[in-house]
Amino acid sequence: MDSARPLLFGSRGREVSLLRRSVDVGVVLLATPIMLPVILALVAVVKLDSPGPAFYRNARLGAGGRRFGMWKLRTMVVDAEARKEELMHLNTLSWPDFKLERDPRITRVGRVLRSTSLDELPQLWHVLVGDMTLVGPRASFVNVANYRLWQTERLEYRPGLFGSWQAMGRGTAGFDDRCRMDIRDRRSQSLRGDVALAIDTILAVLRRTGR
């Protein structure tokens, strides 16, 4: 066993997990009266901007590699996934990532939602039900079969809304770099560190860096 990795055992580990879960639920419940009207307003804007549903559900990997359907506000045209293959040659990131410099599938409202990360507000629901946590690795769509052995450590933790990749990498960091950041964060996790990561992520969104 790697002695450099801080592990939590017994009652102390359960207490820390319970505290983190209590903070997750408490923050989401406090934020709901503010965020719910915002989400409902954005739903109307998305539907007025382009035909199709306001929400988009995509399979992501949670803790232990368990898949869950993650909800976001739709930022692309409804046939975006079907058009992915024809645009593969324009991919600006190394496999298994996929990103286009000027993705023609993104709607007008979608560009604003992405640059401000408002499309991710529905993920508060996943924090509430326990699929996600407030601070943790970015929820990944990369299949487990495409992970190298050292990268699988990031799957030991629940994905989060805030983290180093969300704060520093945004749309520019490659998969290897994201894994390193996520693993480093979780190995050195602390309440103070989590608060700092949340603040850094919010500042990155306000500055519209990356993405």
How far is it, in rounded angstroms, from Cα 93 to Cα 171? 9
Q: Domain for residue 5, yes or no? A: no
Digit-coded pLDDT (tens) for 34-64: 999 999 999 999 999 999 999 999 999 999 8
Q: CB under 8 Å to 49, separation ≥6 — which residues?
A: 107, 108, 109, 110
Cα 14 off chain centre by:
25
When mean pLDDT is compared over 12-26, 97-111, 117-131, 174-188, the highest value belongs to 117-131
Whole-model pTM over 0.85: no
Backbone angles phi, psi at 148, to 5 degrees: -80, 165
Evaluate whether residue 4 is within a structural domain: no
How far apart are the C-alpha atoms of 128 and 25, rounded to whole Å?
5
Could you give the number of structural domains in the chain? 1
Residue 3 domain-assigned?
A: no
Q: Would you say 158 and 133 are in contact if contact means Cβ atoms under 8 Å apart?
A: yes
- Chain-centroid distance of CA 59 in Å reads 12
Asked if the structure places residue 109 within a domain, the reply is: yes
Residue 135 one-letter amino acid: V
Domain that holds residue 61: 19-207
**Residue 174: what pLDDT?**
79
Q: 60 φ, ψ to 5°?
A: -130, 165
Residue 93, in any domain of the structure: yes
Q: Answer whether residue 205 shows pLDDT above 70.
A: yes
